[in-house]
Structure 1
């Protein structure tokens, strides 16, 4: 590469110049489809690193394999304008840098054709969803982005939700979606599919319920027929996604720059593994994702349970125990023999008995693959990053296993250890070296208040946090065996410093 190229930023012009000047040399691959030819057919809400490293890759490879040019992506960034600011000057181009054994060459992607900042451009988001050319709306907004209450319904006490219901330009994801569907209905723009790609049990069913909760809260005047149209013209399939995508660092950006010869402000990092299981129920067509390796099925639930309870639950256990133990990354936590044994035991003793294994999946191989992926030191997936939003993650990752094992007459000790580690993380707020541990959680203030007075008393701490009904419901606090297991684990974790 020439020294002059290194000072330039990635965009369509500089990418073409670089290809003419030096080629890729096998170290990186250009977009397999011409970005200029792509028409927007997908709106994605929540265009963070995961979406760009997962669904966009599948979509672009599928478009190349099928020869289609109508599945470009219009991404909506929800919380900040950073992704827009990264990608717009780059003509939507960015690269995916794989880390670990079997890593592919750096891949430049061109399917993102537009980026909107939802907080500043709500009308544009609504109009994009209502565009007749758009046939699929996808979402990765994290569990908390759905703004659910303790019962799993749309939280109508949330001020932003109430403002969206009242008619402000929508700021919440469900508000954006419903107002976009409303505009679509009014314009006769045709059917559309809404595909949640977040870690929620039955994510499509959940999202459909939240949409109808929003509709039920609206004034009835002028909206007759919208709910019926959504019922007949909008599909909400479920899906399961899997890829480890850690936060991009300055070192990652420097490595991408060395390989590509251009500065990429939007590079994302990922492990080589990637999986997508999709319920094949679409209202108006979809990309041929199966040509890129996705699994299409009529039954996502079994795959989803394996992933949430085996992989995600173990990720959380290692995050909380690892962070408390002073380990900065998941791979470092797994190098601790005690933590590795706890992770293995969680999957074998607690989770496996609760699963309905999908046809064609070897659960032993899957478990070994989970541990092998977590042990990849090249990813540097930070424990405190995985520890975020525990109040939203525990119910879907761990508490289903807890309830199933309790119903079978067994106290799941290792799942209880993971929950106890979260409780200790919340109460202590520091690791064994005295370093602060951030509590990044939508219920952070309430959790701190619940733990503050009882941090040094394990039985009282357990009782206080178990009373957070949004997390534990009304059943788990009443189970003496589970409460005793939590208390024992919290006492040991506290005694160990």
Structure 2
């Protein structure tokens, strides 16, 4: 029996990666700290993925179990797994790293020569590499040598909107029909697994930034502008003609940066942008701007979806005015239920808009900082 460990039994873990692994013939062990979800997985041994789009469908996911990711039992599961995936959030990767390291140590102690591949399916650049660094920090030199030989950490990019829709069964999940899972082929150890829906990529950074500069950039700008205007869902936000115009222009500006950087075909990429915007219009997802916009400090940071497209476009002397409107909208994001939003507002209060943005984003171009501050003052 093939076994996969999915760290993170949340909506993405169940509705995207876990579902693909189960459909590929793996017994999927969900590892999480949420025992309500884990207990229900062990009780039901199945759940339903509801695909909500123009054409809706249902997928029943079976051959699953759950384990508390903080307990020793997870080490036993890792000992005979072929693949580990994560959907826990970038900040949690260092937290699960000790368990992953202990599992690899147990394999080494048993003399296992089976290959293990670990893929961090996070909204981050090279999440698997970041997890690898955290895991290796728990190794001796001998353990590092073993992992170098038998454990791969392929980086990937993931793309699927999985909103937190409340259903009668807490482990059922709603997703959109569209998804992408691009995984760096060269970083696998041993035979590359055959998983329907996993695209093997040889130029992963192009895929990562294509998704970051398009879906992530457009999605968060739609969320911040929609939240500012009081809309309850992303599809309501994008129906607003003013918001739609800004979002599309921002995605085209980030898109031109990608065209210059990677040599993308402009016409093909702009069609991809239109496809992404149409995903925002899906009324069945009922996606919340507060969910999409959460953790604004991370989203405004130098390597993420707002600052990175701006700095990349500026390298090619491309216009960035709509992207700057998106940054200003992010700075306006005042949500007392979001700790990063509260911290952001404190920074703005103490430092002013310009200096707060400079500190958070790493942008030092005075003209750009001044433009964002002006847009912030006069936004919409």
TM-score between the two structures when normalised by the length of structure 2: 0.91
Q: 1:343 to 1:448 in 2, by over 3 A?
A: closer
Deviation at 1:98, TM superposition (A): 1.3
Contact 2:22–2:28 (8 Å) recurs in 1: no
Aligned to 1:234: 151
Is 1:115 equivalent to 2:66 in the alignment? yes
After TM superposition, list the pairs within 5 Å mapping 1:271-290 onto structure 2.
Answer: 271-280=176-185, 281-285=187-191, 287-289=193-195
Contact 2:253–2:318 (8 Å) recurs in 1: no
Is 1:461 equivalent to 2:353 in the alignment? yes
Is 1:54 equivalent to 2:16 in the alignment? yes
Deviation at 1:419, TM superposition (A): 1.6
Aligned to 1:353: 257
SS of match in other structure, 2:305: helix
Hey, what's the Cα distance between the residues in 2 that align with 1:283 and 1:295? 16
SS of match in other structure, 1:193: strand
Contact 2:175–2:285 (8 Å) recurs in 1: yes
Q: Which of residues 163, 174, 197 in structure 1 aligns to 2:121? A: 197
Aligned to 1:127: 76
Q: Relative contact order, CA 8 A, sep 6+: which one is greater?
A: 1
SS of match in other structure, 1:94: strand
After TM superposition, list the pairs within 5 Å mapping 1:2-151 onto structure 2.
Answer: 39=1, 41-63=3-25, 71-78=26-33, 80-91=34-45, 93-104=46-57, 106-112=58-64, 114-119=65-70, 121=71, 123-129=72-78, 131=79, 133-146=80-93
Q: Which runs of 5+ in 1 are unaligned?
A: 1-38, 64-70, 148-171, 254-263, 430-436, 455-459
After TM superposition, list the pairs within 5 Å mapping 1:436-475 onto structure 2.
Answer: 437-441=335-339, 443=340, 446-453=343-350, 460-468=352-360, 472-473=361-362
Hey, what's the Cα distance between the residues in 1 that align with 2:285 and 2:91? 25
Deviation at 1:279, TM superposition (A): 1.8
Q: 1:482 to 1:111 in 2, by over 3 A?
A: farther
Hey, what's the Cα distance between the residues in 2 that align with 1:209 and 1:357? 31
CA RMSD of aligned residues (A): 2.3
Hey, what's the Cα distance between the residues in 1 that align with 2:178 and 2:314? 33
Aligned to 1:259: none
Aligned to 1:165: none
Larger Rg, first or second structure (1 or 2):
1
Contact 2:165–2:286 (8 Å) recurs in 1: no
Equivalent pairs counted in the alignment come to: 374
TM-score between the two structures when normalised by the length of structure 1: 0.70
Contact 2:121–2:127 (8 Å) recurs in 1: yes
SS of match in other structure, 2:117: strand
Deviation at 1:228, TM superposition (A): 1.5
Deviation at 1:84, TM superposition (A): 0.9
Aligned to 1:414: 322
Hey, what's the Cα distance between the residues in 2 that align with 1:345 and 1:492? 19
Q: 1:340 to 1:444 in 2, by over 3 A?
A: closer
Aligned to 1:67: none
Is 1:267 equivalent to 2:267 in the alignment? no
Is 1:295 equivalent to 2:199 in the alignment? yes
Hey, what's the Cα distance between the residues in 2 that align with 1:50 and 1:438? 25
Contact 1:94–1:110 (8 Å) recurs in 2: yes
Hey, what's the Cα distance between the residues in 2 that align with 1:59 and 1:357? 33
